[in-house]
Amino acid sequence: MSAAVQHTLASSATLEGTSLHTGQKVTLTLKPAAEGHGFKFRRVDLPDQPFINADVEKVQTVERATTLAEGSVKVHTVEHVISALSGMGVDNALIEMDANEPPIGDGSSRPFVEMIKRVGVVAQSTPRRVWEIREPIHQETADGTIITIVPSKTFRVSVTNVGPEGRFTQYFSTEVTPATYEQEICAARTFVYYEDVKPLLEKGLIKGGSLESAVVIRGNEIMSKEAMRFSNEFARHKALDLIGDLMLSGVRILGHVIAVKPGHGPNTKMAGVLKAEYNRMRSMVPADVNLPVGEGVLGINDVLRILPHRYPFLMVDRIVDCLSENKCIAMKNITINEPYFSGHFPGHPIMPGVLQLEAMAQVSSVLMLRKPENTGKLGYFMSADKVKWRRPVFPGDTLFIESEILKIRGSIGQTRCRCLVNGEVVSEAELKFALLDR
């Protein structure tokens, strides 16, 4: 399965069962969906068969399960089916139900994984949106939950479950791929502590619960008929829930999610943070720039680790990285505090064209020096061809710098670059470099 493009189901699959909290009989059907569709629920039992997007902004309640709502229409306990779809590499699917909650099955996401395996997954043509986390994101809540996401070249989860009085403290960590999700995560069952059962019943929940649909814990003993599937099954199920809840952000990530005492409330709160940060990053890119797979941001500290340049001659604030090996986009905020404005056209400050050229050269260096074979080298500027300056750049502008590798032969690299302000090209050039050891 290629991680570069979106995937959907090869055909429809249906599952019948009982809902955990409402106790209703329900038929759930997973259907293929078009590129860019994402995950949507559809209540086929209601007039007009309304849709609900699997979006963190639709989260209504998070007590014991994640509930989505669109007006008065609700779907409960969505995390298991979303987790299965996401974990198995599906990007687009329609989830139809004739009740307000999916079947609970054995309390895991394995029944949904079996549905997906039964019909298969097919590649689509549109690039998959994957956000590579570049800077740590940290969240703590009043109940002691800690969720931190740190940079990683893969999607990884590390979960510590801590029960009441520290009972059943367990740890689980894995890279999440369709293979590891199927083998290590999907079979882990939901669990409940015996002392919590009565309050849940009083609230009208777990009407469809049984010893076959969840692991029940009384004191330090397991009451369920089936033995533990894993020694750390509870931590694995927390990872399962976490994967489903975070996908409500609407974007896959490359990052290491480290969670202590996760729950649906903190999970969906972090999904909201991810969505907001992702949208903030996207807003910095001109509307006409189409970011493909693996969009992410290289912060200033990342840039400083790659380039030898330092203020006032560093012409790059941040890289908007398209994850293509041959193209990237950078950003430079032009402020009146730039030292060159004090002497360049006094009274009418504009950014010198040669410094735009230098910005293109620095972005090209970042692009080429990120290749593993060029680690530790320096890019020495050799020539500039087809240079054009089309309009002035003023203080207050945000300069976006695009660089694309045309070819690399031995130690010589050539790039095509352009600078844009408000979507308009202000300068462009083709540059040549020598890549030499430091």
CA atoms of 291 and 268, how far apart (whole Å): 26
Catalytic one of 37, 80, 264, 309: 264
Residue 367 pLDDT level (bands cut at 50, 70, 90): confident
Per-residue pLDDT, 283? 65
CA atoms of 385 and 124, how far apart (whole Å): 39
Which domains occur in the chain, in start order? 5-281 (3.30.230.20), 296-437 (3.10.129.10)
Q: Answer whether 35's CB lies under 8 Å from 123's CB.
A: no
pLDDT tens-digit map of 186-210 = 999 998 887 777 666 556 555 555 5
344 counts as catalytic: yes
CA atoms of 187 and 411, how far apart (whole Å): 51
7 counts as catalytic: no
Strand ranges inside 176-304, DSSP E: 191-193, 215-218, 221-222, 252-260, 296-298
Q: What is the CA radius of gyration of the chain?
A: 26
Q: Could you tell me the CA-to-CA distances from 168 to 24, 31, 65, 236 in Å, in that order?
A: 31, 38, 20, 12
Residue 137 pLDDT level (bands cut at 50, 70, 90): very high
Assess whether pLDDT exceeds 80 at residue 142: yes
Contacts of 183 (CB under 8 A, 6+ apart): none
CA atoms of 255 and 324, how far apart (whole Å): 18
Per-residue pLDDT, 140? 95
Strands 252-260 and 296-298: unpaired
Q: Could you tell me the CA-to-CA distances from 175 to 67, 84, 112, 161 in Å, in that order?
A: 27, 15, 20, 18
Residue 428 pLDDT level (bands cut at 50, 70, 90): very high
- What angle do helix axes 264-283 and 233-246 make, rounded to 10 degrees? 40
Joined together, the tokens standing for residue 178 give 């369709």
Per-residue pLDDT, 28? 96
